[in-house]
A and B are shown apart, each in its own frame.
Chain A
Amino acid sequence: MKKIFFLAVSIIFLTSCTTANKQLSYKEWSSSTTREYAGISNNQFFLAVEKLFLLDYGNELSLKRMNETIFAKRNRVTRTGWWIFKSTNYHVDSWRINISPTKDGTKITIQANYALSAGKPIPDSVMMPGMPVHNTEIYDQFWVKLDYLLKNNDNTNNL
């Protein structure tokens, strides 16, 4: 019995060794945040991106469009702690989507940032607070969703 317990405890401790952060190379990051499309107008992209974020963030979303850039932002507040050890945490998820024309079509680049602040709200004037999100999964999800919405864009306008 003791041996099993020891094994279980050591497994719990050792698992943390396998979750070491994978170091992305520039190439990996660059390819996971860039896609090229052909035959799709800028407006179709804007509508699809807008719908994507409305579906994900709902009424927590704030969306800004400037020329060929879309900024999408979500503010969240979480409260942790107990009694006098309380703290309020402010989270901001922010996205920047750039649409630029190329020879054969359109190039789309995305960037996701995450900021966490304990106790002090993050000013809304900062477009992309915090640091870039350091994984490829979040970007992969974005492309899958965007591809789906671009394929099924018949009723993009009536959400």
Chain B
Amino acid sequence: MNKTWLLVFSLILLSGCSSTPELTRDEFASITTREYPGLTGEQVLQASEKLFRLADGDDFKFNYSRDNPAIETIYATRKWTEYLVFSSATGFDYWKLTTVSGEQGTIATIQLNRHIVSKIVWTYRYMNPPIPAHQWPEGEGIKNTSIYDLYWARMDYLLGKREDWMTCKMSKERIKLKVVWGDNDFLCNFLNLKDDIPDSPLIVSNLESIYKIFPK
């Protein structure tokens, strides 16, 4: 009997060892960067703004910055609270999209951090929108493939590079099929996200006009 217990316990403890794969720097760079030839930085930033407003327009707080006319950044911060049956958790998601635009097109880089605030250390500061003074963002950088996969799929749709809007259901299926791995609850979370679907992309691509002449 003792042996069985030991086995059960060790299984529970050891299951934590089957951890997520490590990303190399190259993999991470390719996951978080996209090139949009022929598009301006303004178009890419506006698509990203629309993406966040659709996901949770009431809770995202936006800020914008410019290093020089060619390098612009959009910051989107969301404070979330999850009330579970016996506990609650609060934290912040920090999204930062930087675009470098030139005559040929735009290169966009996304960064996503999550900062979880312990419910005990609930101070006045966390009841207000956060303004980190020195470093941005706080918290831990998110390293997984599914959330970035979802983000760029939606960006591609809004910018006319993809035909369909990736819903949360589709993203979950891709995790199940092991195309991508990791947590996508930054954009897919029935507890505190609205997850609206856009009526139409911001930029209607050439694809659609071609389909009008030559139906699929």
Contacts and interface: CB of A to CB of B under 8 A. Distances in A.
A122 B63 contact: no
Contacts of A27: 46
Contacts of B83: none
Contacts of B133: 115-117, 122, 129-131
A111 B66 contact: yes
A122 B66 contact: no
A109 B64 CA distance: 13
Nearest to A113: B65
Contacts of B131: 116, 130-131
A75 interface: no
Q: How large is the interface on A (under 10, 10 to 19, 20 to 34, 35 or more residues)?
A: 20 to 34
Given A30-B42, A98-B68, A98-B69, A24 B134 contact: no
A117 B134 CA distance: 8
B134 A100 contact: no
A29 B69 contact: no
Contacts of A25: 49, 62
Interface string A1-28: 0000000000000000000010111110
A129 B136 CA distance: 10
Contacts of A98: 66, 68-69
Interface of B: 42, 45-46, 49, 60-69, 74-75, 129, 131-134, 136
